[in-house]
Amino acid sequence: MNDILRFLLTQPCEPPALDGVEAWWQRHRALLPRFPDAADLALAGGFGADRLGYAFASGYHAAHRRLFPQLPAERPTALCATEPGGAHPSAIQTRLVADGEGWRLDGEKTFVTLGTRAELLLVVATEGQDAQGRNRLRLVAVEARAPGVQVEALPELPFVPEIPHAGLRLDRVQVSAADVLPGDGYARYLKPFRTVEDCHIQLALVGWMLQLGRRHGWPERVREELLALAVMLRGVSRADPSAPETHVALGGALELVRRALTSAEPEWARVDALTRERWERDRRLLDVAGKVRAKRLIAARQRLTGAGASSDE
């Protein structure tokens, strides 16, 4: 752990401007040999970003490293879940069906983060229903340029416009048994990813704020509070992402980050105008999926007190 703390405290904090997602990826990729640990990678990637959008991108990629360590780290990946009906397990209509000695994928995804830059797509698909009529989901690794795969860029969002998103169509895409990741696609991958993603994006945010604090001379108490948050979030990121205890701890961590951001508000007067303007535009990103997080926290509290909760929270 000392390596990442030393990096955050002593690394030169004047990151060159990133002129596109490719530049972000090359800088992020250069950190992989030094920081194989996903949490440290998120912190270092956030520290090296020149804006919140690219810090987010590093946290998103680091979340993939945490949940899918068997996949090649040097290839950008994207999780493909959301469909016209949403991302709830019951909304998944993309189908994985047996086709000769292999499998075939057919379906549509409506919103894939970093979809136009990904080389490997992790597609959530159903292979049918169980005895209770619930979708049996699997996760399938698909080459972004495989025959039958069509990735279509979506319009920029009003915040973090640098981060590309895409729609995805899958038309009789052939996959092998080795491309189907082991285990239940929902319980093992899709559900915990929400928690893993929150942890690593917050780590990247804190790394970015530490860089800003050092570069613009924020008070030591503010920077040290951010460093303490980095240590705390690093610990939470190592906990079981499916456990209710983890969700309660993460809920507390997110609240502490929110308070730290509020207390740092006066320090933004020291920051250059362009970075301030981007922050005011992009900070809405931090509120995305806020209702989902709140629901997850309530369900976790209920499970711990024995009040019960839906297994599909």
Q: CA dihedral defined by 244, 248, 249, 251, rounded to 10 degrees? A: 130
Whether residue 159 sits in one domain with residue 89: yes
16 and 45 co-located in one domain: yes
Number of Cβ within a 10 Å radius of residue 182? 8
Q: Are residues 245 and 293 in the same domain?
A: yes
Lowest-pLDDT range, 38-42, 68-72, 131-135, 194-198? 131-135
Query: Per-residue confidence at 101, pLDDT binned at 50, 70, 90?
Result: confident
Look up the CATH number of the domain holding residue 162: 2.40.110.10
What is the DSSP-derived secondary structure letter of residue 20? S
Of 116, 150, 180, which closes a domain? 180
Domain of 256 in residue numbering reads as 2-67+188-305
The closest alpha carbon to 159, from 292, 15, 299, 288, belongs to 288
- Is there a domain that residue 255 lies in? yes
- Each residue's pLDDT tens digit, 258-299: 999 999 999 999 999 999 999 999 999 999 989 999 999 999
Q: Note the pLDDT tens digit of each residue in 158-188.
A: 999 999 999 999 999 999 999 999 999 999 9
Confidence (pLDDT) at 308: 56
What are the Cα distances from residue 135, in Å, to 94, 98, 154, 184?
Answer: 11, 16, 28, 10
Nearest alpha-carbon partner for 42 in 188, 209, 248: 209
Domain-terminating residue out of 163, 180, 197 = 180
* 204 and 301 housed in the same domain: yes
| Cβ partners under 8 Å of residue 181, min gap 6 | 68, 122, 138, 139, 140, 141, 188, 189
pTM to 2 decimals?
Answer: 0.95
254 CB-near residues (< 8 Å, 6+ apart): 198, 202, 293
pLDDT of 313 reads 46
In contact, 163 and 25? CB cutoff 8 Å? no
Say if residue 221 is in the same domain as residue 248: yes
Domain count for the chain: 2
Q: What is the mean pLDDT of residues 212-225?
A: 97
pLDDT category of residue 309 using cuts at 50, 70 and 90: very low
For residue 50, the 8-state DSSP code is S
Domain end point (choices 154, 180, 206): 180
72 part of a folded domain: no
Query: For residues 121 and 78, is the Cβ–Cβ distance under 8 A?
Result: yes
pLDDT of residue 63: 98
3-state SS, residue 135 = strand
Nearest to residue 88, comparing CAs of 130, 126, 114, 128? 126
Same domain (yes/no): 20, 100: no
DSSP H or E segment with residue 22: helix 21-31
- Average the pLDDT over 57-85 and give the result: 96
Contact 159, 282 (CB under 8 A): yes
Inform me whether the pLDDT recorded for 26 exceeds 90.
Answer: yes
